[in-house]
Amino acid sequence: MKNSRKRSIILLLLVLSFFSGMIFLITKFSTNAEKWAFKPYNLHLSLNSFADAGRIYDTNSTVLAESIDGKRIYNEDSQIRKAVFHLVGDESFNISTSIQNKFRDKLFGYNFLSGIDLPSFLRKKSDVYLNVDSKLCKLALSELKDHKGAVALYNYKTGEVLCMVSTPTLDIKNLPNDISSNKNKDYDAVFLNKILSANFVPGSIFKLVTAICTFENIPKEALEKTFECKGKEIVENEKITCAGYHGKIGLKEGLKESCNIVLGNFAMTLGKNNMIRTAEKLCFNKPIKTDIGETKESYFNLSDANKASVAWSGIGQYKNLVNPLHMLTIVGAIANEGVAVMPKIIKENKNNFLNHRKSKNSEENCIRYTTKDVANKVKEMMSYTAKSSIFYKFHNFNTCLKTGTAEVGGEKKPHAWVTGFLQNEKHPVAFIVLVENAGSGFEEAVPIAAKLLKEVTKET
């Protein structure tokens, strides 16, 4: 009797574990089947399906990719193909963030029960509509010339990404044969969308973060305190240098002149804890979410920093790194009363498969980076900077901006940056331009941004 009870219990346990295993397997399968089907090791399953996949459109319904007579065809303009290469993607899995990789299931009409084995006419294939304007992307690409870099523009009120270009890039219709050997290093990071998946030394564009921190913690000093710039300053035996000799100036002039001594001193006055608190409120050290995935994290860490390192971090050097799209949300928040709207790459369109996702500016899509008051004060300083005579190219656009020239070490030239936004009801656009190892932000990045803003505000 005792034995048979023992056996019954064991049998019951076995049956229970069998069924819980089955439930686990079915749940895993139903939630992950799509992902598994489109993993790189299943490339053979999906490659043929490009023969009749859905279309990819830009914001003006220009076709960027479509399938005709069993072939995947891309936009006829080679410069547009190159400009949107990282966004549209190729037919392999090389660009993890591309539309043809991330939304392969929707483009192919993947079905949970039949996979992608159904005949083409039975598969419900989706088209994908994007927010980018491919002509604007083409202009950004031509302005970057042969430089490596990244350009992005977005609507800081709605989050729509209007332009997203990363170089070096490739023409999908004429892929070179020597990519895998990469002898001259021409193809380094060629499959990386730098707007989403890379981070860089920010240099002086980071001074905006220091300015936000100053207004948040010592608002009176932000308006009144001055420091004397003699071109250099010794802090605990380390030299902090400035490109100019600015004399006695405060935060407003310091930002306009991009004075390292003033901003470095504000960072030291604020100290590690305040700087870290502000940076983390602005989403440093974590990815930001877009509708096609997360960005690479921006990095800010002062755990081993001495006083001079805190100064260098406040002027965007030390170990600081920023992701371009994340930085775009910071200037977007300054423009938008402290609230950052997360970037949206996919268009809100009745035909779009992503329509079921939370649209408009739901809480999930917006993060308060700072207060309205602080954002407006930094905005005023950025506007004052843009009104400086050297930025005459922006004077027609009511712009707020900050340039950066980020030292990257070694024998390499600095990264050239400019970021900012338009104060324009009709065109609430924020921008960021990075030209890698090109020299000064003012000389190399500013003309590109000015050209793009001229195009964006052009009356048609």
Decide: helix, strand or coil at residue 355.
helix
Q: How far apart are CA 158 and CA 292, in angstroms?
A: 16
State how far the alpha carbon of 362 is from the alpha carbons of 235, 332, 339, in Å.
Answer: 46, 16, 12
Question: Which strand (E) or helix (H) includes residue 418?
Answer: strand 415-422
Q: How far is the CB of 313 from Zn ion (least distance, A)?
A: 17
* Pair type for strands 149-155 and 289-290: unpaired
Closest to 455 (Cα-Cα) out of 105, 134, 89: 134
Quick one: how far is CA 225 from the chain centroid? 34
Q: How many C-beta neighbours within 10 Å does residue 402 have?
A: 26
Closest to 327 (Cα-Cα) out of 421, 215, 240, 455: 421
- Beta-carbon contacts of 338 under 8 Å, excluding residues fewer than 6 positions away, are 368, 369, 370, 371, 372, 374, 375
- Which CB sits closer to Zn ion, 46 or 313? 313
Name the residue with tokens 């790189």.
40
Torsion angles phi and psi, residue 121, rounded to 5: -70, -15
Decide: helix, strand or coil at residue 66.
strand
Q: Residue 441 carries which DSSP code?
A: I
Q: How far is the CB of 227 from Zn ion (least distance, A)?
A: 9
Where along the sequence are the contacts to Zn ion (CB under 5 A)? 229, 242, 244, 246, 259, 261
Give the number of residues written for the chain: 460
State how far the alpha carbon of 396 is from the alpha carbons of 387, 393, 458, in Å.
Answer: 10, 7, 11
- Which CB sits closer to Zn ion, 261 or 400? 261
Looking at the DSSP bridge assignments, the partners of residue 164 are: 152
Q: How far is the CB of 259 from Zn ion (least distance, A)?
A: 3
- Which CB sits closer to Zn ion, 99 or 259? 259
> Could you write out the DSSP letters of every residue in 371-403?
-HHHHHHHHHHHHHHHTSGGGGGGTTS-EEEEE
Q: How far apart are CA 126 and CA 124, in angstroms?
A: 7
Q: How far is the CB of 246 from Zn ion (least distance, A)?
A: 4
Report yes or no: 266 and 313 within 8 Å, Cβ to Cβ: no
Closest to 310 (Cα-Cα) out of 221, 258, 238: 238
- Which CB sits closer to Zn ion, 242 or 449? 242
